Amino acid sequence: MKDLHNNIEIPSTAVLAPVTVSTTQTLTDIDLAGANSCEIEIAVGADAGTGLSSSHKIVFVLSDSDDGTTYTAVEDADMLGVEDISSGTILTIDATDEDNTTYRFGYVGGKRYLQLVGTVTGTISMPMYIDVSKGHLLDAPIVS
């Protein structure tokens, strides 16, 4: 039987505490030391800006790095839950039916560091939080 309970780090690490986002957010040096994968959760509330559209949106780009200095865009093979990655883009929120949602993505690229940038175009005002849960731990089980 597979055992997730002893092979995932809980609690997760908040990389963006609950906050209302209206400007670009750069979340750097997400350290995956001791793990071979992670689950990224992006939870967004209702946009109170001018309305989501192709002119008012947020685009999330994920990059990875061995050294925490030189980052390159993740590729399709390194992600789960993303259909097609273009230049590291894992999520674009640009329509009203895309807010008030929780998005989850799996990273299996094997690099130690991640960087997530949420680039805001136009005017948005959206509550959100982002957290990361480490998986495939090198020293399992984790004792809390």
List the CATH number of the domain containing 67. 2.60.120
In a domain, 48, yes or no: yes
In a domain, 133, yes or no: yes
In a domain, 143, yes or no: no
In a domain, 21, yes or no: yes
In a domain, 119, yes or no: yes
| Nearest residue to 78 via CA among 115, 117, 107 | 107
pTM: 0.91
Q: For the residues of the chain, what is the DSSP string, one character each?
A: ---STTSB-SSPEEEEEEEEE-S-EEEEEEE-TTEEEEEEEEEE----SS--SSSSEEEEEEEEESSSSS-EE--GGGEES-S--BTTEEEEE-SGGGSSEEEEEEE-S--SEEEEEEEEES---EEEEEEEEEEEETTPSP--
Tokens of 95: 């329509």
Cα gap 117→36, rounded to integer Å: 21
In a domain, 6, yes or no: no
Cβ atoms of 118 and 57 closer than 8 Å: no
Check whether 1 has a pLDDT greater than 60.
no
Residue 131's domain comprises 13-137
Check whether 140 has a pLDDT greater than 80.
no
Q: What is the pLDDT of residue 27?
A: 96
Check whether 139 has a pLDDT greater than 90.
no
**What band does 141 get if pLDDT is binned at 50, 70 and 90?**
low
The number of distinct structural domains making up the chain is 1
In a domain, 2, yes or no: no
Q: What is the pLDDT of residues 78-135, one digit of tens each?
A: 999 998 888 999 999 999 999 999 999 999 999 999 999 999 999 999 999 999 999 9
Task: Please give the backbone phi and psi of residue 44, each rounded to the nearest 5 degrees, phi first.
Answer: -125, 145
In a domain, 83, yes or no: yes
Check whether 8 has a pLDDT greater than 90.
no
The residue with tokens 């002119």 is: 55
Check whether 143 has a pLDDT greater than 60.
no
**What band does 12 get if pLDDT is binned at 50, 70 and 90?**
confident
